[in-house]
Amino acid sequence: MLRIYTALFNRLNQDIPYVVWKACHEIKTALNGLGDIDILIDSDYQKQFQKIMRAQGFVHAEFSALKFPFVCHFYGCDEETGKICHLHVYYKIVTGESHLKSYHLPLENEIIANRFLNSMGVYETAYRDQALIYSMRHYMKRASLIGYLFWAYEKKDYLDEYNYISNGLNSTKRGEPLLGENDLRSEFDFQSLDMGMGISGYRKAKNKIVSISGFRRFNALEAFLKGLYFFGARLSYKAFRVRKRLDNGLVLAISGVDGSGKSSMVQELHGWLGKNFDVDMLHLGKPSPTLLTISLRPLLFMYRVIKGKNRENLDDSEDYSSGSKLKKKNGFIWGLRYLALAYERHKLARIAQKRTDKGKIVFCDRYPTISFGKMDSPRIGSGGSWIVEKMRHFELKFYEQLPKADGLLFLDVSMEEAIKRNRKRIKKDKETDDGIAFRHKDNQGLSFGAEQVFIVDANRDYDSVLKSLKSISWKFLLVKNQ
């Protein structure tokens, strides 16, 4: 069991009436960070439970257009392994078709009362109650054509759960009926479930659920319309890889000198959190042109060709062999290029901020600084013509008005290590050793536009650095979502 789950369930066992109410056959796997846990919480303890979840390092997230009443999702990060843990939380037993959940089973009090503490130290639904709930859900799903398709697609998992419950029933004595209603248990007899795929299974399910029609949350028309909507939402989410969104999104930037590994780490963090959350990745070091600035690209390209400068950025072609660099440039072309870059960065940072307002996590590869003449900073020098002075004025304005990132993680690497890594890079027009050395010296003590900056030792091995970045990133999520 992951340490975060050990701490959480030790706390819940003391303070919160709860039970893992379905998919109990997967509890062990889920407690090791491979899957989610379906947990029912006594609704009278909802606020207390949410407070505990925040205290234990969990955050709340939901799909923006696929929500069910009394159902929510909490995620935590295990510090030791970096695994993301998922609790699928219910305050009422809302269940049924996977795409609709059109039933509310009023069994919460009885299920919690009949629970037992399993060998892993987690309260689990009694096997007899698991059998009843499984049987009812079985027919609910198969009574809908869409639900039937989902059931068929996930049949192996349903069979695994069926076998788990069967083994549990065989190993325990029969208890009292859950609701004191023998007819409900006999109507949904676990031992006589039809697991076939024929049309008769659909018809039988349609007949069975008549006896629990009073548990339905919608009438026939509402169920049809909502079913189409939720089914379409699920398909679109699958197609476009949409994930859940936080209550409060955030902008996290990764920066560092050449050779620090920032681009690789941005990719790693994006993949890590992108499995569960809606995550975007933006490059503020080299932003894409906007509709306003794209027309300048041909002009700048021609300028580089005429001047014999074949590197992507104007300043990348400077000669570092002398050990010095002219920091202030005040020519017209120089000013035009860096005014456009300032505008592109400003616009992209605004876009990042708007996305976080919708609950997204935005990872930025580099982030502008306000340290003039250095990495990702204002570059237009004073002393130029009046039009260049105007460009300089507006460039500074764009950087000054740039929205701050919520957090910035600066990968600190020694000059020797940066040069060593750069030599191994496969890159067109790769920087020289002198260039790397100069940039390393020149880009110390940067002042970033971020609410909080963490300096991370990037001289360590790859996995150690990544582990540190994951830990810090999750702490930012917690702070933003308290």
pLDDT digits (tens, 9 = 90+) for 150-207: 788 888 899 999 999 999 999 886 554 444 454 677 788 898 888 877 788 888 898 9
Taking 80 as the threshold, does the pLDDT of residue 328 lie above it? Answer: no
Band (pLDDT 50/70/90 cuts) for residue 308 is low
Query: Range with the lowest mean pLDDT among 4-8, 211-215, 370-374, 411-415?
Result: 370-374
Closest CA to 231 of 344, 119, 100: 100
Q: What was the pLDDT predicted at 45?
A: 98
- Mean pLDDT on 146-152: 79
Query: Is-contact 378 420, C-beta < 8 A?
Result: no
Instruction: Check the CA dihedral 243-267-407-467 and report its sign.
Output: positive
- Each residue's pLDDT tens digit, 247-274: 999 999 999 988 899 999 999 999 999 9
- Spatial distance between the Cα atoms of 125 and 114, rounded to a whole number of angstroms: 7
- Each residue's pLDDT tens digit, 202-230: 888 989 899 899 999 999 899 888 888 88
Record the pTM.
Answer: 0.89
Query: Range with the lowest mean pLDDT among 244-258, 304-318, 360-374, 452-466?
Result: 304-318
**Residue ranges per domain, the chain?**
3-239, 248-480
How far does the chain reach from its first CA to its final CA, in angstroms?
26
Q: What was the pLDDT predicted at 183?
A: 60
Q: What is the CATH code for 248-480?
A: 3.40.50.300
Q: What was the pLDDT predicted at 343?
A: 96
- Each residue's pLDDT tens digit, 82-136: 999 999 999 999 998 877 899 999 999 999 999 999 999 999 999 999 999 999 9
Determine what percent of the chain is predicted with pLDDT higher than 90: 62
Instruction: Decide: residue 186, CB within 10 A, 0-12 exposed, 13-18 middle, 19+ buried.
Output: exposed
- Mean pLDDT on 368-374: 88
- Spatial distance between the Cα atoms of 25 and 164, rounded to a whole number of angstroms: 6
Give how far Cα 168 sits from Cα of 25, 111, 188, 192, 341, Å: 10, 16, 18, 17, 65
Q: What was the pLDDT predicted at 327?
A: 43
Query: Range with the lowest mean pLDDT among 210-224, 288-302, 309-323?
Result: 309-323
Taking 70 as the threshold, does the pLDDT of residue 410 lie above it? Answer: yes
Using DSSP, how many helices (H) and how many strands (E) does the chain show? 17, 15
Band (pLDDT 50/70/90 cuts) for residue 345 is very high
Query: Range with the lowest mean pLDDT among 49-53, 186-190, 449-453?
Result: 186-190
